[in-house]
Amino acid sequence: MRCIENTKVEELLKLYDLPVEELIEISSKITKENFTNEMEFCSIISAKTGMCQEDCKYCSQSMHHQAKITVHPLIELEEVKKAALNSKENGATRFCVVTSGRKPDNKDFTAILRMIETVAGIEGLHSCCSLGILDEKQVRQIKEAGVERYNHNLNTCKSFHKEICSTHDFEDRVNTINLIKSYGIEACTGGIIGMGETRKQRAELALELAELNPKSVPINFLSPVKGTPLENLHDAIDEEEILRTICIFRIAMPEALIRYAGGRALRFSKEYQLLGIRAGINALLIGNYLTTTGISANNDIELVKESGMSIAKI
């Protein structure tokens, strides 16, 4: 990945400082120029939860932390199928199988491929997954199984990465994203805001993501979980700064789906969620997240209606 040019960062920082209404107008215009008035729904299932060897400071699933979560090995295929069908009924057009850990072991990976095939075989539903840092053989196998989009977030910018994780490098994530793209799989890659990063570092992340040209960019808001190193960061970012960041992400990535993801229920009021949609959000992760409770599908359906958008169909 090329170094982020200071001039580009400075340009984004100048936009960050605009009156918020003016900033929304700029990002809203960009969205309307590149998209129809539709909101894409997706849903996920935590197919394997906890006991992760990585030490990401935000994550309740890390073995290095003391968060109290329900840990379970890989779930059964039928449970995945049931959840996928339920998500389709709630308006999702994409369903993502997610597992904890750096990468799946061989036994789990064989079972995960069956999950991917099952989801891909459901009419009206695209198959996605998020399995960590894969090798080329594994990427080829998930492609053959039917994966169309792979989630692998940068999480934060390169300059802040070492403050968040020491067990893998920023480049490991970038390399994984480039690998899946080389096999024709769309990249779903975004970040987490509110982890103590500066505004400048959020601008850096926007540009680093833009360089990867992802199809979908999930924006997660930190949910400080007790037992993790970031458990006390409840006030690291306010609603207006989140809104401004959504605008900046849209400006930096005019043709990407910008997606509300984890932490929205805790950190972002309905009023600001609607402003975020106006600013450029055009995709939603509905239902629960990996270890935390999300927003009900019915509430999100109402949110989209209130925003004046419609729910995208296949």
Question: Quick check: is 260 in a domain?
Answer: yes
Spans of the chain, pLDDT less than 50: 1-3
pLDDT attached to residue 289: 55
Least Cα distance to 108 among 129, 82, 84 occurs for 129
Q: Which amino acid is residue 48, in one-letter code? A: K
Q: Which two tokens stand for residue 248?
A: 């900046």
Please say whether the dihedral angle defined by the alpha carbons of residues 181, 187, 193 and 199, taken in this order, is positive or negative. Answer: positive
pLDDT in tens, 169-201: 999 999 999 999 999 999 999 999 999 999 999
Q: Residue 4: its pLDDT value, please?
A: 56
| Distance, CA of 167 to chain centre | 21
* Long-range CB contacts for residues 161-168, cutoff 8 Å, separation at least 24: 163/57, 163/196, 164/56, 164/57, 164/58, 164/195, 165/54, 165/55, 165/56, 165/57, 166/55, 167/53, 167/54, 167/55, 167/56, 167/102, 168/54, 168/102, 168/133
**Is residue 300 included in any domain, yes or no?**
yes
pTM over 0.85: yes
Q: Taking the CA atoms of 202, 306, 95 and 49 in sequence, report the sign of the dihedral they define.
A: positive
Residue 312 lies in a domain: no
pLDDT digits (tens, 9 = 90+) for 96-153: 999 999 999 999 999 999 999 999 999 999 999 999 999 999 999 999 999 999 999 9
- CATH code at 155? 3.20.20.70
The verdict on residue 140 lying in a domain is yes
Show the tokens assigned to 43: 């849903």
Residue type, 176: T
In a domain, 29, yes or no: yes
What pLDDT, on a 0 to 100 scale, did the predictor assign at position 291?
A: 56
* Domain count for the chain: 1
Q: By residue range, what is the domain housing residue 151?
A: 7-307
DSSP 10-71: HHHHHHHTS-HHHHHHHHHHHHHHH--SEEEEEEEEEEEBS-B----TT-TTBTTS------
First to last CA, the chain: 34
Q: Checking DSSP bridges between strand 94-99 and strand 38-48, what pairing results, if any?
A: parallel
Torsion angles phi and psi, residue 204, rounded to 5 = -60, -45
Task: Please tell me the distance from the alpha carbon of residue 300 to that of residue 306, in angstroms, as a whole number.
Answer: 10
* Residue 1 is assigned to a structural domain of this protein: no
Q: What is the pLDDT of residue 295?
A: 81
User: Rounded to the nearest 10 degrees, how much is the dihedral formed by the CA atoms of 228, 230, 231, 232?
Assistant: 160
In a domain, 313, yes or no: no
Task: Tally the residues of the chain.
Answer: 314
The whole-angstrom separation of Cα 14 and Cα 8 is 10
